[in-house]
Structure 1
Amino acid sequence: MKRLVLSLLVAVAVAERPSLSYDATASRPSSPVQQIPIIRDERVHPAADGTYSFDVETGDGIARHESSGPGGVQQGTVSFTFPDGQVFNLQFVADVNGCQPQSPFLPVVPAFPHPVPAHALEQIERGRLELEARAREEQRQSSSQGQTAPARHYGQP
Structure 2
Amino acid sequence: MGLQSSQASPGNMKFVIIAALAAVAFAAPDRPYNTYGSGSSEEAEILQHDFDLQDDGSYKLDVKTSNGILVSEQGRPEGPDGAVVTSGVFSYTAPDGTPVEVKFVADAGGFQPDSDLLPVAPEFPHPIPQFVLDQIAKAAEEDRNRSPERRYSYA
- What TM-score does the superposition give when structure 1 sets the normalisation length? 0.49
Higher relative contact order (CA 8 A, sep 6+): 2
* Structure 2 length-normalised TM: 0.50
